[in-house]
């Protein structure tokens, strides 16, 4: 489990296709405190550490994960949002995030509002019903509050701090973004279907 509070921005330094995709990610985390087998959310995808070095870790990414997320677009030099798994007693600054991406949204509009950037994203139709104004979503692993919803489109406001400490300062029109809907929204919708 994660909170959607990004704690490092890593850089993809190596990619190898060997049945699955294997990626090396440079990090400022103290890797001596990471175990092989640990989970690290990388752009919002819960990935298992399979190897470590002094300032990097490697993950193996299944074909299904590559197909269902934006990781298929990873290239050497790509910056990625990172979060270590939640520990008992950690602060829950965002919302409960599983790292199990539900789909990929697309950035369809962006404009500056004061010092912030307003971004409009288009969710897959099957997921749009789970997104509500003032509800939570995780986008590329970042816990965010939805401002407005219009059909499949929804708006997010990125304050300067978020743009500075995550990859959201690099956002561009047409970007494909990993989307994880709020777990509570999923269960409420399921309960409504059953009644």
Alpha-carbon distance of 182 to 163, in angstroms, equals 22
Q: Residue 117's CB: how many other CB atoms inside 10 A?
A: 19
Domain boundaries along the sequence of the chain: 8-84, 103-194
Q: How far is CA 164 from the centre of its chain?
A: 16
CATH of the domain spanning 103-194, picked from 2.40.30.20, 3.90.420.10, 2.40.160.20, 2.40.160.50: 2.40.30.20
Tokens of 109: 């509009």
Question: Pairing relation of β-strands 142-150 and 116-122?
Answer: unpaired
Tokens for 69, please give them.
Answer: 């997320």
Residue 193, pLDDT above cutoff 80 = no
Fold matches, 8-84 and 103-194 = yes
> Could you read off the pLDDT of 60-78 as tens digits, one per residue?
999 999 999 999 999 999 9
DSSP-assigned beta bridge partners for residue 97: 2
The C-alpha atoms of residue 160 and residue 131 are separated, in whole angstroms, by 24
Q: Give CA 101 to chain center in angstroms.
A: 8
pLDDT tens digits along 112-121:
999 999 999 9
Whether the pTM exceeds 0.75: the reply is yes
Burial (CB < 10 A; 0-12, 13-18, 19+), residue 149, is: middle
pLDDT above 80 for 21: yes
Among 5-9, 39-43, 86-90, 106-110, name the one with the lowest average pLDDT. 86-90
Nearest Cα to 46, choosing from 103, 91, 92, 2?
2
Backbone angles phi, psi at 54, to 5 degrees: -65, -30
Name the 3-class secondary structure at 184.
Answer: helix
CATH code for the structural domain at 8-84: 2.40.30.20
The answer to whether residue 57 scores a pLDDT higher than 80 is: yes
Residue 158 has pLDDT above 90, yes or no: yes
pLDDT at site 48: 97
Q: Tell me the average pLDDT of the chain.
A: 93
Per-residue pLDDT, 133: 94
Whole-angstrom distance, CA of residue 191 vs CA of residue 155: 26
């Amino acid at each position: 489990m994660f909170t959607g509070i990004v704690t490092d921005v890593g850089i993809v330094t190596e990619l190898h296709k060997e049945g699955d995709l294997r990626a090396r990610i440079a990090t400022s985390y103290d890797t001596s405190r990471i175990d092989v087998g640990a989970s690290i959310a990388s752009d919002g995808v819960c990935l298992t550490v399979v190897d470590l070095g002094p300032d990097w870790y490697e993950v193996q990414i299944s074909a299904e994960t590559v197909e269902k997320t934006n990781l298929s677009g990873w290239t050497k030099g790509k910056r990625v949002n990172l979060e270590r798994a939640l520990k008992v007693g950690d602060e829950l600054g965002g919302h409960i995030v599983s790292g199990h991406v539900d789909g990929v949204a697309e950035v369809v509009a962006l404009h500056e509002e004061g010092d912030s950037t307003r971004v409009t994203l288009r969710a897959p139709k099957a997921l749009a019903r789970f997104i509500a104004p003032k509800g939570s979503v995780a986008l590329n692993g970042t816990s965010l509050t939805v401002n407005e919803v219009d059909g499949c489109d929804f708006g997010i406001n990125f304050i300067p701090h978020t743009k500075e400490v995550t990859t959201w300062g690099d956002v561009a029109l047409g970007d494909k973004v990993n989307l994880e809907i709020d777990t509570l929204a999923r269960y409420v919708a399921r309960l409504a279907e059953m009644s």
